[in-house]
Amino acid sequence: MNILRKYFSLLIIILISLTSAGSAFTQSTADSLKKYAVKLDTDTLFYIQTGLGIFDAEKRANEINFKIKNLAENNAIDYDSIKIIEQADFVLLKFGDEILLAVTKDDAVVADKTQISLAEDYRNLLINKLNERRDIYSQKNMIKNGIYTLVYVVVLILLLWLFTKIFPWLYKKIEQLDKSKIKDLTFKDKEIVQSSTIVSILLALTKGIRFVLMLLAVYLFITQTLLLWPHTNKWDIQPIVKSLALFIFYSALFFTLFKSINSLVSYLNNKYESWKGTKIQPIKIKSIELLSAERTVEVLTLITKVLRFAIQLILLYFYITIVFSLFKFTETWASKLFGYILTPLSSVLNSFVSFLPNLFFIIVLVFVFRYIIRFVKFLFMEIHTGRIEFPEFPRDWAMPTFKIVRFLILILAVIVIFPYLPGSDSPFFQGISIFVGVLFSLGSTSAVSNIVAGILITYMRPFKLGEKVKIADTMGEVVDKTLLVTRIRTNKNVDITIPNAMVLGSHIINYSSSAKDKGLILHTTVTIGYDVPWRKIHELLISAANETEFILKEPKPFVEQTSLDDFSVSYELNAYTHNSGSMGGIYSQLHSKIQDKFNEAGVEIMSPHYNAVRDGNQTTIPQDYLPKEYQAPPFKFLGIDLFGKQKKSD
């Protein structure tokens, strides 16, 4: 007996467990069923989730909706006569012989109620909603709603009529305001806004208030009127009307702001023109004029136009975004448009906040390197001015050396600061750096060679600024010397730029380096026939040199006989001068003096070569230097005058 009792108890436990599991399974299945609404007009009464026989849940709901609609349209019946009838498997709701719906066991399981209690809930809900609908659609209620609608129409017409009377009167009053009532807005005796501008602003504000009030009145009339009538009070039209009203308001506001910005820009442009020469003066630094008044006005006008474009673009963006947010089918577009601005701004703000420690470190480094450069500049300036001297370091090396040291310090500063720059560790930034480095190394070969040559030329000191030099075939004064090029100005005031690599690879003749201390020797050569004594030639050449301007008396000029040619002797005159920059003028004057001296002495200059045989030929000395009785010599052959007899006979 004990064994049977134990088996019986175990069987009961298993059955209870299976029942509980089945109930749990049924409940979880009920939660996942699809709902179909049973409605009266637009009000949802309850939901059907289970089927009945050949009818699924959707068909059951449609059938119940059809019967309730027919029942609601009959105003002659008493809705309290709906009854609950219990049957074996169903609980029915009937009106007379018409079955409105059947409550099944599955419905009770889904609702977690008994069939009777669920049927009673459905009956009470139906009766209350049907009676409420009957009251709404009653003749008395319709008349009342009609009266209210008429009152709303009258109130709206009255308000619009008042607006047409009151606001034009206000416009006239505002326009009649003069300077005695509204004065110019000034700041420290300077006119900022005129009274006429203030009147225009008041007129614009009054018109804006009128527009907003009219829009509000129409909005309230439409929404309140629709709420009165049973056919429209359930419409979800209020958000649409509100959205349309706000759309009109924002459009008018945008148009007003857009037009106001244009008017403000025109006003400012006119002010700029009137302020030119008075409030807008030329921008100067000491005596150097950076911007004239006209250019300043042009710059201000350009800045104003750029600001107008930017502000109007921002206004347009926010207008489109706000308009999109007013309607449900476009509100997602508004969030996306806002995201296009807010996401980058938040990203930039977060990046800036995280960059602040590095920024402070970079600022400290900039100050440190700045004062290092200032100290180095002070040191080299002292050397340049001669206050500090080093025996093996000439003063003219000071500034070029400072530039090189400053460049190296700046390179060191860039190397130290670079890791603290935002994005310096990104692959894209590193790739760009490598790419720029490769381009620089490939394209700057000649530039680097010129820089190296410029540094070598600086420390070789082959010439200085202002000295007269000859580099390859170019002769002139050195006017500029940089790391890349050297500029020469010729005697014809032609500036020639020579790359430093070419300067270093060419021979350099410096006419000025020894001119002030030892004197530059200017030399010129003449060829004179053998028939003139050489001592006389020396005397004439030295005399011409002594009468030439800028030729030194000490050391004395001297003459060298450089060659004995076939028909003439070459005499080279050498004279000292300190003015190497005037070589061309000195040579010109010296040559003219030589010509004068030789002509006065009756000595022919055999340059270019002339035949020394003068039989029958006129001398080359100019006629002004010849005596009046001068006659060309006769033709001779072996010392015999060939035409002497003929001349005598003549």
359-382 per-position pLDDT tens digit: 888 899 999 999 999 999 998 888
Residue 532 CA to residue 539 CA, distance in Å, equals: 12
CB atoms within 10 A of CB 38: 22
Average pLDDT over residues 462-472: 88
The domain segmentation of the chain, as residue ranges, is: 1-32, 33-137, 454-510, 520-612
User: Is the pLDDT confidence value at 18 over 80?
Assistant: no
Where helices occur in 418-560 by DSSP H, the ranges are: 427-443, 445-460, 500-505, 534-546
Range with the lowest mean pLDDT among 66-75, 115-124, 361-370?
66-75
Q: What is the amino acid identity at position 590?
A: L
Check residue 109 and give its pLDDT: 85
* Sequence-distant contacts of 237-244: CB under 8 A, at least 24 apart: 239/328, 243/326, 243/327
- Weakest-pLDDT range from 199-208, 221-230, 548-557, 577-586: 221-230
Given a cut of 60, whether residue 645 has pLDDT beyond it is: no
HSE (CB half, 13 Å, CA atoms) of 82? 25
| pLDDT single digits (tens) 171-200 | 888 888 766 677 766 666 666 667 777 778
**Residue given tokens 């030119």 in the structure block:** 276
Tokens, residue 195: 């009274």
13 band by pLDDT with thresholds 50, 70 and 90:
very low
- Those residues with Cβ within 8 angstroms of residue 502's Cβ, 6 or more apart along the chain or in another chain: 471, 472
- The Cα–Cα gap between 242 and 250 comes to 12
Asked if 23 and 103 touch (Cβ cutoff 8 Å), the reply is no
More confident residue, 583 or 444: 583
Residue 135 has pLDDT above 80, yes or no: no
Average pLDDT rounded to a whole number, residues 213-234: 77
Residue pair 414/424 in contact by the 8 Å Cβ criterion = no
**In the predicted model, is pLDDT for residue 336 greater than 90?**
no
Is pLDDT above 50 for 205? yes
Q: Report the chain's mean pLDDT, rounded to a whole number.
A: 79
Q: What is the third-level CATH fold of 520-612? A: Alpha-Beta Plaits (3.30.70)
Who's near 553: CB < 8 A, 6+ residues apart? 546
CATH of domain 454-510: 2.30.30.60
- Cα separation, 220 vs 156, in Å, equals 9
Could you tell me the pLDDT band of residue 235, with boundaries at 50, 70 and 90? low
Model confidence at 21, pLDDT cuts 50, 70, 90, reads very low
CA distance 465 to 487: 10
**Is 70 exceeded by the pLDDT of residue 607?**
no
Q: Tell me what pLDDT residue 176 has.
A: 80
Specify the pLDDT at position 521: 92
Stretch 348-369: mean pLDDT: 86
Q: Is the pLDDT of residue 298 over 50?
A: yes
Q: Is the pLDDT of residue 112 over 90?
A: no
pLDDT in tens, 236-281: 666 776 777 788 888 888 888 888 888 888 888 888 888 877 777 7
Q: How far apart are CA 70 and CA 77, in angstroms?
A: 12
Question: Residue 644 pLDDT > 60, yes or no?
Answer: no
Residue 133 to residue 230: CA distance in whole angstroms = 9
Which has more confidence, 104 or 647?
104
**How many other C-beta atoms are found inside a 10 Å radius of the C-beta of residue 504?**
18
Q: In this structure, which long-range contacts are made by residues 319-323, counting pairs with CB atoms below 8 Å and at least 24 apart in sequence? A: 319/250, 319/251, 319/254, 322/250, 323/247, 323/250, 323/251
Spatial CB neighbours of 356, under 8 Å, sequence gap ≥ 6: none
Q: What is the DSSP letter of 550?
A: T
- The pTM is what? 0.42
Percent share of the chain, pLDDT over 90 = 14
Alpha-carbon distance of 53 to 440, in angstroms, equals 87
Checking if the pLDDT of 514 tops 90, the result is: no
Q: Give the lowest-confidence range in 384-393, 425-434, 477-486.
A: 425-434
- In which band, very low, low, confident or very high, does the pLDDT at 649 lie, cut at 50, 70 and 90? very low
pLDDT score for 443: 61
Q: What's the average model confidence in pLDDT over 324-352?
A: 77
DSSP 632: P
Coil, helix or strand for 194? coil
Instruction: Kindly state the average pLDDT of the residues 431-453.
Output: 74
Residue of 522, 525, 498, 527 lying closest to 511 (CA atoms): 522
DSSP-assigned beta bridge partners for residue 406: none
Q: Quote the CA–CA distance of 411 and 630 in Å, as a whole number.
A: 83
Mean pLDDT over 401-415 rounds to 88
| Mean pLDDT, range 199-210, rounded to an integer | 83
Question: Does the pLDDT of residue 26 top 50, yes or no?
Answer: no
